[in-house]
Structure formats: C-alpha cells, structure tokens
Chains A and B, each alone.
Chain A
Amino acid sequence: MDVDLIFKIAAIGILVSILNIVLNKSGREEQAMMTTLAGLVVVLMLVVREIANLFDTVKALFGF
C-alpha cells in the first residue's frame, strides 16, 4: 500500500505541473491556478489521512 501512495502523489505533482505549463502557454492563467489548487487539495487529503492513521497508531500503542 505505501509504495504506490508515494508514486500516486508524485504522479499528481508531475501532472499538475505539466497541466500548469500547458494552461499558462494557452493563455488561461486562472485555470492553471485552479488545477494547481485542485491537485494540492487532493494530495493534502491523501497525506492527512495517512498522518491521522499514524497518530491513531501511536495513540493506541503508547496508551494516550
């Protein structure tokens, strides 16, 4: 599970940066900004879920 999460985030990052360049070249700066934000939100959701999972494990383990 963990390896492909990192590849998924990297893929989203690369895709967003390419989309950004394409949209900028075609003169649509606002949409480029939108795609960057959308990509960031998606990645943030993935990462926050993983961190919540980690904190729950630590809480259960160390008897918080």
Chain B
Amino acid sequence: METELVRIAGIGIVGAVLAVVVSEKKPEMGMMIGLAFGALALAIVAGKAGAVIQLINDSVDRSGIDANLIVPVLKVTGMAYITQFAVDACRDAGQNSIASKIEIAGKIMMLAVAAPIATALIRMVTTII
C-alpha cells in the first residue's frame, strides 16, 4: 500500500513540474497533464478502495443488517468521488462557474440517492415508538 503512495506522490511532483513547463507556452496542454495524472492516480486508488468495500460488505452480511441499506451509502461515495474529480478538473481550467454547477448537480443527485435511507430511518423510528 505504501509503495503505491510513494509512486503516486513522485509522479504527481513530476507531473506538476512538467505541467508548469508546458503550460508556459501552451496553457491547455498543462491542464491536460493535470487531468491525465488525476485520472491515473484515482484509478490506482479506486483499485485499492475495492478491497475496503469488500471488507465492508462482508462485515455487513455477517452483522445481519439488510444489505440494501449499504448500497446507497456506497453509491453516494462513488458519486462524491466523480463529482470531486470533475470539479477539480474544471477549476484547473479556470472555469469556476462550470465547477460550481457540477458541484450543485452532484449534491442534488446524492440527495436523491440518499433520500430513501432517511425515509427508512423515519419509518423504523416510528415503528419503535
């Protein structure tokens, strides 16, 4: 796990320096380098995150909580992942308005996914009382 972190940090620094060198003449190329590094680093990390998710699913199955409560939680995490990636890419390109629109859309989508959990919770509480 640590070697991955060292590799990503190293590549990140090299990428940053290259981005500065290239974007002096061609700003759009510099942004491309940042975007490419972002996609690569997150792809590596997403691979590692799979193990964590597997662990969560196993512990949920053993603990007897019904599985379909966990699915929205994971989905919201994935959506946050993608929204953050898109927002950072747009901010790199200097398009703050586009970035904030993506952020708003992401929040609304996550709310839509998380709403059933809230209603399930409320129903559970009312049945207990």
| Interfacial residues, chain A to chain B (CB-CB below 8 A) | 2-3, 5-7, 9-10, 12-14, 16-17, 20-21, 36, 39-40, 43-44, 46-47, 50-51, 53-55, 57-59, 61-64
Interface residues of B (CB under 8 A from A): 11, 14-15, 18-19, 21-22, 25-26, 28-30, 32-33, 35-37, 39-44, 46-47, 49-50, 53, 71, 74-75, 77-79, 81-82, 85
Instruction: Specify the chain B residue showing the minimal Cβ separation from A40.
Output: B28
B75 and A6 contacting across the interface, CB-CB below 8 Å: no
Please classify the interface of chain A as helix (H, G, I), strand (E, B), loop, or mixed, using the class held by over half of its residues.
helix
How far, in angstroms, from A63 to B79 measured CA to CA in the complex?
A: 11
| A6 close to B46 (CB less than 8 A) | no
Q: State A32–B8 Cα separation when bound (angstroms).
A: 35
Complex Cα distance, B37 from A52, in Å, reads 13
A63 and B75 in contact, given A6-B36, A36-B26 (Cβ under 8 angstroms): yes
Instruction: Point out which of B36, B41, B81 has the most chain A C-beta atoms below 10 A from its C-beta.
Output: B36
By a CB distance below 8 angstroms, the chain A residues around B50 are 61
Structural contact, B26 and A62, CB atoms closer than 8 A = no
Bound-complex Cα distance A43 to B22 (A): 13
Given the complex, which residues of B lie within 8 Å of A62, measured CB to CB? Answer: 53, 74-75, 77-79, 81
Whether A58 and B78, one on each chain, are in contact in the complex, defined by CB atoms closer than 8 angstroms, is: yes
| Inter-subunit contact B78/A64 (CB<8 Å) | yes
Find out whether the CB atom of B26 lies under 8 angstroms from the CB atom of A9.
Answer: no
